[in-house]
Amino acid sequence: MSPPVFRFAPSPNGYLHLGHAFSALLNADLARQSRGRLLLRIEDIDRARCKPEYEQAITEDLAWLGVTWEQPVRRQSEHFDAYREALGKLQALDLIYPSFESRGEIAQMVADRGDDWPRDPDGAPVYPGSRDSLSEGVRRARMDAGEPYALRLDMRKAVKLAGPLTWREAGRDAPEGVIAARPDAWGDVILARKDMPTSYHLSVVVDDALQGVTHVVRGEDLFWSTSVHRLLQTLLGLPQPTYRHHRLITDSAGRKLSKSTQSTALRTLRADGATPADIRRMIGLPEP
């Protein structure tokens, strides 16, 4: 049997903090314990926010922690063609449509729907439009006129085509076993943003498959995103990995760590004299 494949997939839009250290070290520990492979993927599709100096810092911080990964590192910004191809498949299934609204217009549409308009699992209002909001002719004319648009998944149609979905959850810190996916809770998610030819959901699913990832180990803030990932995998005919969503490291007030807080950045802690063993202790990971 081929060895299990794990990956750590940070975005280079800031310095790694203790939460990233937990995720990276857990992936590395699990890969080592199972004689598996560990890949590093740089999720840098957001060209405005991602910077080469942060990518450089990520590799330095990981090496300092003692994490080793296989080469080559996959950089998402170098693979827009792969995401375009996946979009083409969804388009051929007639599952995506362009939407032209600005953030402000969407906020106004939501406000018009009233206070009890549904929210997605991240707490953001579900997109209030639908592919029927505009006729095919009007959409085509606006695209031809060069108006910027995002591509959205027609969730109702996609869910109907895919049928009921589940995923295998091996999380020690999350419910174990088989989880029923609920992609419809996200509404018509964006698969390609106005300013980039892909989105987080699409790229992560395409890359996990292309890289042969068998075990996705990541923070439990992404637990319900897995519903969308399972849907896209099914529509695109991609294999399903096993998922393990781990607890999040929080600050003393119980808040999720942020890349903008200096005090929990690995480089700050290192400069203050912390050792990799100290970091393991701080995040409650046993010595390897």
Per CB under 6 A, residues contacting ligand GLU are 9-11, 43, 204, 218, 222
Tokens of 175: 């419910």
Which residue is listed with tokens 């330095």? 60
Where does 66-197 have alpha helices with state H? 80-92, 103-113, 136-144, 155-162
Could you tell me the end-to-end alpha-carbon distance of the chain, in angstroms, rounded to an integer? Answer: 25
* CA pair distance 213, 204, nearest whole angstrom: 11
Strand ranges in 144-264 using DSSP code E only, listed in sequence order:
150-153, 166-169, 177-180, 190-192, 215-219, 242-246
Taking a C-beta distance cutoff of 8 angstroms, is the pair 36, 4 a contact?
yes
- Closest CB to ligand GLU among 60 and 220? 220
Where does the chain have alpha helices with state H? 18-33, 52-65, 80-92, 103-113, 136-144, 155-162, 200-210, 225-236, 266-271, 276-282
